[in-house]
Amino acid sequence: MSGGIVWLHGDSLSPTDPALVANPTAPAVFVFDEPFLATAQLSFKRLFFLYECALEAIAGRVGSIRRGVVVDEVRAFAAEHQALTVHVTASVAPRFREYVAALRAGGLQVMIYEPPAFVMWRGEPPRRFSAFWRRVAAEALQAGNSAPSLPATEEE
């Protein structure tokens, strides 16, 4: 029995994904969502961009990039690693909630990690950005300590 797997999706496809960082040795999977993409017919540029992101995200650990039905592929990947838990970072997309519900219905435990917050906000947002900005500006303009180390200029 392993500690679980990490499911990466297009809203959080970085080596710094919170679910990945919290589970540094867990195998990770990213799935190109076949039914969605077959309908959406995105440009190749977008899919290649995701592929490059996914390759970098899983580098250095057991990882897999797949094409198929997301829930089925995540479930199969978990089974391959005898994992009962799926670690994943939250997304606001309605499809994400559906997939989490389907994984749970299939018997897997799903641990959801929150992405870093830009500002704290609870409840319904206003209808206009100006009203939102008035309420969050002071907080948004407070520098926190999450600035990443930037590469040297000669590193390309």
In the complex, which residues of this chain contact other proteins (CB under 8 A)?
10-17, 32, 34, 37-38, 40-53, 55-58, 63-68, 89, 92-94, 115-119, 121, 124-125, 127-129, 132-133, 136-137, 140-141, 143-148, 150-151, 153, 155-156
> 1 or 123: whose CB is closer to other proteins?
123
Cβ of 21: how many Cβ atoms within 10 Å? Answer: 13
> 37 or 101: whose CB is closer to other proteins?
37
Q: How far is CA 136 from the centre of its chain?
A: 25
Q: Which residues contact 77 (CB under 8 A, 6 or more apart)?
A: 5, 27, 29, 64, 66
| Tokens linked to 82 | 């005898």
Backbone angles phi and psi of 113, in degrees to 5:
-105, 140
> 1 or 155: whose CB is closer to other proteins?
155
Tell me how far, at minimum, the Cβ of 40 lies from other proteins, in Å.
7
